[in-house]
Amino acid sequence: MDISLRDDIVRPLVFVLADMAALCASFLVAGGLVLLFSQFAQGRDYGDLLTDPAMTHPGEVTAVAAALMVWFWRKGHYTQRQPFWMEANQVLAGCLLALLCGGFLQFALKQVFSRLWLVDTWMLAVPAVLTMRWLGRRGLDVLGLWRVPTLVVGSPDRIAEAEALLAVEPNLGFQVVARSGFEDLAAENPQGWRQACARHGARMVVLAAQEAEMVRYRDAISNLALEGLPFLCVQSLSGLPVQSLRPVHLVGHDVLLLMETGRQDASARMVKAVFDWVVALLLTLLLLPLLLGLAWAVSRDGGPVFYGDKRIGRHGRRFDCLKFRTMTPDAERALADFLDRDPAARAEWDATRKLRDDPRITPVGRVMRSRSLDELPQLLNVLKGDMSLVGPRPVPVGEAGIYGPELLYYHQGKPGITGLWQVSGRNTLDYAHRVHLNTWYLKNWSLWLDILILIKTIPALLLRKGAY
């Protein structure tokens, strides 16, 4: 199959059809739910429901769905590759906008249609669209139509960084097939970029160079755009917040300005606080039977039910981070004795502050830790205002010195029950990487990021990803 035909027609067509199927399925499932609700809760006859005008005039839903798909096209969902976090954000925003537009059309056109059906349709559309697109990518991958062979060009350290970034985002589908420095590339392929890509079987170029290299090889890089090859430029911002930066172009200059659009203000913190409190209250009420059952199981050995560990919160204030007790009463002495006897365990403890075979943990505690159930009492910390649902892990008082200057970032926000490092590998990550993820979250916080982390926490717990 011709490459241009595959890229320009086949892949967009697959995702258009995937979205159409997802929106149709959402509409039909939502209608089924409304019919069941009306039949069983309101006692209406099924035959009468099918002839009810409120159930049989979904014209505005169809119009809004078509407009939504046009909006997705304009956002590049069918023609460009996007990271999952960005794609999911825009799908949610689009479906919420569609819900508002659908309601407005009902009012403006005075159409009769079930409001419950309308709301259910667009709420179900979010997971349906994301699921169908995932299936579409999997199908294209099986057929060999998804992955793009990629040539990475630059300095060795930046090439390794670029490869790691591409590996953690399968939504992009870039498969590195070759690596090269600028000098080696010029020596091997003096005729240009297309020859270099043909030599390595690549169809895309990733530039992973230091700024000095970008200046030094400016003419060669300019030829990359001249030859019309797709390319991706990877640049490090050295710890700056990336989500609040806005690209600015200046006419006549080959320079991209990244402008800071503002960090968290008082209104953003208020939104986060209200979101935390409302969700924590609902979760506490929903999980109350489980909380009572776990409390009973912990209390059976005669020890206290809860354990409050001193942690550092916002502005450096110390508080008791609540957990169900998972250790024996003489936990600290047992740990010290164990580390003195086992040098390997000592090295593991120094690197991660955790142990795979911790002698202090009770049988009930081990089960709770495997699913992070011991941390459920921290919902009370959220209701008290000491913690957030999502945030960096609360720093133990005794470990504050390990964080160095990064500790100042921890003082800017409340610690969280879950966070970016928990959904990125948890205990498979070393301590330095864990600190980096926590500080990245604090620099780049948004309410949408919190929602995504909460969603990703569910499979992380169910699959026990990185847990011990």
- pLDDT tens string 370-414: 888 888 999 999 999 999 999 888 888 877 777 777 777 778 888
| pLDDT score of 7 | 62
| pLDDT score of 91 | 93
| pLDDT score of 265 | 64
Q: Which secondary-structure segment (H or E) carries 233?
A: strand 231-233
Region label for 224, one of left (φ > 0), alpha (ψ between -120 and 50) or beta (otherwise): alpha
Residue with tokens 């500080």: 439
- In this predicted model, what pLDDT tens digit does every residue of 31-76 receive, in sequence order? 788 777 766 655 555 455 555 555 545 667 788 899 999 999 999 9
- In this predicted model, what pLDDT tens digit does every residue of 242-251 receive, in sequence order? 777 778 888 8
In order, the DSSP letters of 345-378 are: HHHHHHHHS--TT-TTB-HHHHHHHHTTGGGTTH
The pLDDT-based confidence of 30 (bands split at 50, 70, 90) is: confident
Neighbours of 151 (CB within 10 A): 24
- In this predicted model, what pLDDT tens digit does every residue of 175-203 receive, in sequence order? 899 888 888 777 776 678 888 888 888 98
Q: Are 41 and 120 spatial neighbours (Cβ–Cβ below 8 Å)?
A: no
d(CA 233, CA 166): 12
| pLDDT score of 70 | 94
pLDDT exceeding 70 applies to what percent of the chain?
A: 88
Interval 440-445 mean pLDDT: 84
Of 404 and 98, more confident:
98
pLDDT exceeds 80 at position 296: yes
d(CA 326, CA 324): 6
Domains of the chain with bracketed CATH: 3-142 (no CATH), 148-236 (3.40.50), 266-326+361-462 (no CATH)
For residue 350, give the nearest of 325, 313, 342, 438 by alpha carbon.
342
d(CA 409, CA 314): 9
- Judged by average pLDDT, the poorest of 222-231, 313-322, 332-341 is 332-341
pLDDT exceeds 90 at position 334: no
3-state secondary structure of 323: strand
pLDDT exceeds 50 at position 1: no
Of 195 and 338, more confident:
195
Interval 447-458 mean pLDDT: 85
d(CA 431, CA 253): 42
| pLDDT score of 85 | 84
Interval 86-98 mean pLDDT: 90
Q: How far is CA 409 from CA 187, 314, 397, 403, 438, in A?
A: 46, 9, 15, 10, 9
**Cα 11 vs. chain centroid, distance in angstroms?**
24
Q: Percent helix, strand and coil across the chain, each rounded to 5?
A: 60, 10, 30
Residues 6+ apart with CB under 8 A from 315: 411
The two beta strands, 306-312 and 395-396, are antiparallel
Q: pTM for this structure?
A: 0.73
Count of residues making up the chain:
468
